[in-house]
Amino acid sequence: MTLKNILIHPDPRLKKTTEPVTAFNDDLRRLADDMLETMYHAPGIGLAAPQVAVMKRMLVMDCVKEEDATPEPMVLLNPEVIWSSEEQNVYEEGCLSIPDQFAEVTRPTCVKVKWQDLDGKEQQETFDGLWATCVQHEIDHLDGKLFIDYLKPLKRQMITRKMVKLKREMARG
């Protein structure tokens, strides 16, 4: 298991649409393990492949928040939202690629998602609550969309400027 480096916005790879997964093999399983390890270490409750510079339609998540509860790691390949509720709710979102920045985003409260699992077998599930917010946030990443893209331009530019400054400081070490 390897911890992978998480890309920080702005980065062109975070704005690209990713390619479908077609090879369901051991390399994919190893990547899923590495992404889950990276997610738990961050810590986060979701992580999309482009965030670790892998341009594939793949995401992992585990939105179980209770410390002593059993983790529920999920690996979704080629995920698609096939239904979303009229009802929407607001959540103060963050992003591992935009550290320490939070803003309210409105999304459908409930979504039905279909995907393939690591064996290539088709799965479907309806998500609500934090799981729904998270899976929509991650699928956006696969289409090069970040939560700041839902904000007013001024707020988005302010956050981007902070990230450019952070990356300059990180580069200086």
Within 69-121, residue ranges assigned H as helices are: none
Which residues make Cβ contacts (< 8 Å) with residue 155, sequence separation at least 6?
Answer: 103, 148
Where does this chain touch ligand K2U (CB under 6 A) — which range of 70-78, 116-124, 136-144, 161-169?
136-144
Does 138 qualify as catalytic in the annotation?
yes
- Provide the mask over 91-110, with x wherever binding to Zn ion is found by CB under 5 A and - wherever it is not: ----x---------------
Residue 50 binding ligand K2U, by CB under 6 A: no
In the set 19, 80, 138, 169, the catalytic residue is 138
Distance of closest approach, residue 26 Cβ to ligand K2U, in angstroms: 25
- The listed partner (Zn ion, ligand K2U, none) that binds 134, CB under 5 to 8 Å by sort, is ligand K2U
Residues 82-101: x where in contact with ligand K2U by CB under 6 A, - otherwise, as a string: ---------x-xxxxx----
Provide long-range contacts, Cβ within 8 A and 24+ apart, for 28-34. Answer: 28/58, 28/77, 28/118, 29/118, 31/58, 32/58, 32/60, 32/75, 32/118, 33/1, 34/1, 34/2, 34/3, 34/4
* Alpha-carbon span 170 to 54, nearest angstrom: 22
d(CA 118, CA 60): 11
Residue nearest to ligand K2U (CB): 44
Residue 110 binding: pick among ligand K2U, Zn ion, none (C-beta 5-8 Å cut-off by kind): none
List active site positions: 138
